[in-house]
Structure 1
């Protein structure tokens, strides 16, 4: 059995047994087929990462063979050309290394990929006189960014990476018709080697729901590029707006265009819910940075991140490795805080946990009168196979969650988890909240006991887009909106118990809010990489009351 994967305006196609002629008709008419199998791809969700690990481990000849194999099918594969330049330089083969640098740039790879690093791995390349001459010719101080983040109704934060230590500031002004706009200037900060030459600056005293234009100032020189963003609606006031969200965003050149599609919908924020870069190497910081650099050099992503506020949490492939848990000790394994430091260097969130004693990527923020609560489902996670006392959130984060919910002034409260709450999303697996049923019930019971209304859930992890309805005795149902196939080649099958699921193409979720109406509403949309509307479902606030 297959399911036809197109639903518009809450109308679901019936389940049909499809013959070949119907499948052909569906593709010709633009209706997606839900996939249950796929062709194996050695680079799926990796894009040269494993070969870079081989170089890191000193197995350059093995990496070269694998890269060359990739070039047979695609002679201009940028990541293979980049890796070959790194590998040959490490082997002392400078002329061959520069040949692949030239080929990579000719194939469209941004030059900043070679200056960003990982610096310890690219040192042999950087020491070549031919590369030094090319670097002097390019003369590029600005490497990555800007990434807009930590936006509120009164402030915004801006992130950048430079090639070396440099001063960084931002100049901005409101976009106002018919009046001359007053220019504002942030304080100047230094990008430092200890932070991988990144820095953030914050600008306050902004107006709510106002469009601003800005440019970067690096070592006193203004960049020619001008960017634009909008502050959030006034906090705790009713508003109409939308946010986009999703996970499963392995660097995949063919599908980086999803970020262009997301930007076209003009969300006020984009929530990245984990599996954002696929590292799977918690003890190799150079590989972590390599994976971040690929995404931060992506032209479609840079265009999105410079104009839409980005908020991020991690999941297993960003924090540790597949389906990982490492216990609730904040300092064990020893690499935990280093991985968190690398995460902080590469994002621009409102906050990171609750300080040194309770670290993590969890945080919260408001857009108008909607409260977004972002959970860290990895840092404190314990063994799900030990029934007694198992926890996904850990005591410090759970205490923070309960206090945040008690104090919330949001009409809607959106709890974001990197893994789904709904039961049955991944059968026979203890990686989602099914592996922590006692803690899940504790959280849901807390909502009921404290009469906390207006809660909805969003999640990622499964490589598809879903909607689930979690029925609760003597309480309102909890709707969970899931999306986690932004760019991934790999796909997961749709589950029968979901209200709806889609996996035929890469997709993302949009939550549209209208809290100005008598019965405030949120609407979940599933949109494809090609901007095709697949599904929408509206939930009224009256449905989320006791």
Structure 2
């Protein structure tokens, strides 16, 4: 009898040790592996000015996401000088003598992160939702900055503190904030890969590197690792859309398309990995958009852009002028943009505050994936419904190929559009400017002529 009790006690001790050790081994097995809880709702967003009202958190909480992903500009940590055309400190024009944006102090960055973290709506989200994220330029520390920014080490620590990253996390020891997570049971896993498009990025117009060699090596191992039902790649800047190709030389936006070699390398890596179920989420541009590229992997690659929590292009102009913003968005060539009857705007972009929402119906056959951009009240403004079956490589590769000189929707890049189509915004802008100058010249001439007649 005593021996049996001893054996039972030893067995119980072994079981307890295994149970205690399991979660520790599991959490250390990857950058951040998660418990095998089925995930069906993911929200994401970007561009949240900590000093602006943030009522959209109520809609995000009502969506009841299990995961929320920050995609950058989680705060606006740099200092923006006002537009000044004249004076001692000129921030715009060909004669500007000071930069429009300058870094703020570490203390000020901490203060701005604290303001966001203590926002009542965001605080409520933190109670029941796993929050992860990466950064973009304004929380990196300086507008449009890349690897040349001197304050990036401090900025990395502040971001990871904001995200409650453990002190022993590999993210605190590496150069850059890139990371990955795996959620859900083995047969229904979702892999989230968060890229760092700042720490190693070469200068704009260089067509150099966005990720840097170490991050590329890491990304290759992530994509060629164990399969998952879905793989979400989070990039702070847009991957598929290249609006700069159609808005230049009036203005330019940051995106992967401005580094064509890097984007081609990314698409090729996804294709070579033979990984199904990959799509992108992005932010940065201050409007919502869903784009699609069919000529990279053998299945459609989607990019759902949600921007921003507070910052939006239609809020940057007086409300009576919003029709101009919507007209320009409608006129812009829509090579990659997903157009549909369910879009709230005819342009299928949305220039008011918004967030992204992903819903997976694991019980459907085949499993369905709903990708949406939602407004401040939680109503969809842009939407795409697809399935895991549609996100698998097709057996006939020719279906997704394109011949030289051929134009195809969701396949021809913006830079391949005919010149007059690609630059129609610039043509319209300069024609309107010329008409305005001619009108002003005519009015000035008329006023001078009238004055001369009066004097005579």
**TM exceeding 0.5:** yes
The answer as to whether partners of 1:353 and 1:361 remain within 8 angstroms in 2 is no
The answer as to whether partners of 1:258 and 1:486 remain within 8 angstroms in 2 is yes
CA–CA distance in 2 between the matches of 1:466 and 1:489? 12
The answer as to whether partners of 2:305 and 2:356 remain within 8 angstroms in 1 is yes
CA–CA distance in 2 between the matches of 1:476 and 1:444? 12
Q: What's the CA shift for 1:345?
A: 1.9
Residue 514 of structure 1 is matched in structure 2 by: 361
Instruction: Determine which of 36, 41, 51 is the counterpart of 1:234.
Output: 36
User: CA 1:474/1:422 → structure 2, altered by over 3 Å: closer, same or farther?
Assistant: closer
Residue 352 of structure 2 is matched in structure 1 by: 505
SS of residue paired to 2:224: helix
CA–CA distance in 2 between the matches of 1:242 and 1:279? 30
Residue 544 of structure 1 is matched in structure 2 by: 391
Residue 49 of structure 2 is matched in structure 1 by: 250
The answer as to whether partners of 1:522 and 1:539 remain within 8 angstroms in 2 is yes
Higher strand share: 1
Instruction: Determine which of 370, 373, 386 is the counterpart of 2:190.
Output: 370
The answer as to whether partners of 1:384 and 1:391 remain within 8 angstroms in 2 is no
Question: Which protein has the larger Cα radius of gyration, Structure 1 or Structure 2?
Answer: 2
Unaligned runs of 5+ in 2: 1-21, 25-32, 79-101, 315-324, 340-347, 394-456
CA–CA distance in 1 between the matches of 2:120 and 2:296? 48
Q: What's the CA shift for 1:473?
A: 5.4
Give the alignment of 1:121-140 within 5 angstroms.
none
CA–CA distance in 2 between the matches of 1:440 and 1:349? 29
Give the alignment of 1:80-229 within 5 angstroms.
none
CA–CA distance in 2 between the matches of 1:271 and 1:474? 25
Matched, 1:314 2:135: yes
Matched, 1:470 2:268: no
SS of residue paired to 1:544: coil
Q: Deviation string for 1:208-240 (max 9, x for gaps)?
A: xxxxxxxxxxxxxxxxxxxxxxx97726xxx46
User: CA 1:430/1:502 → structure 2, altered by over 3 Å: closer, same or farther?
Assistant: closer
CA–CA distance in 2 between the matches of 1:289 and 1:442? 36
CA RMSD of aligned residues (A): 2.7
Q: How many residues align?
A: 308
Give the TM-score normalised by the residue count of structure 2: 0.62
Q: Deviation string for 1:305-331 (max 9, x for gaps)?
A: 22211111100111032212234xxxx
Residue 206 of structure 2 is matched in structure 1 by: 386
Residue 216 of structure 2 is matched in structure 1 by: 398
Bigger Cα displacement from structure 2, 512-521 vs 474-483: 512-521
Q: What's the CA shift for 1:405?
A: 0.8
SS of residue paired to 2:114: helix
User: CA 1:251/1:355 → structure 2, altered by over 3 Å: closer, same or farther?
Assistant: closer
The answer as to whether partners of 1:344 and 1:352 remain within 8 angstroms in 2 is no
SS of residue paired to 1:342: helix
Give the alignment of 1:300-311 within 5 angstroms.
300-311=121-132
The answer as to whether partners of 2:194 and 2:234 remain within 8 angstroms in 1 is yes
User: CA 1:282/1:342 → structure 2, altered by over 3 Å: closer, same or farther?
Assistant: farther
User: CA 1:544/1:275 → structure 2, altered by over 3 Å: closer, same or farther?
Assistant: same
Higher helix share: 2
CA–CA distance in 1 between the matches of 2:69 and 2:261? 27
Matched, 1:487 2:310: yes
CA–CA distance in 2 between the matches of 1:467 and 1:424? 12
Residue 407 of structure 1 is matched in structure 2 by: 225
Residue 272 of structure 1 is matched in structure 2 by: 70
Give the TM-score normalised by the residue count of structure 1: 0.53
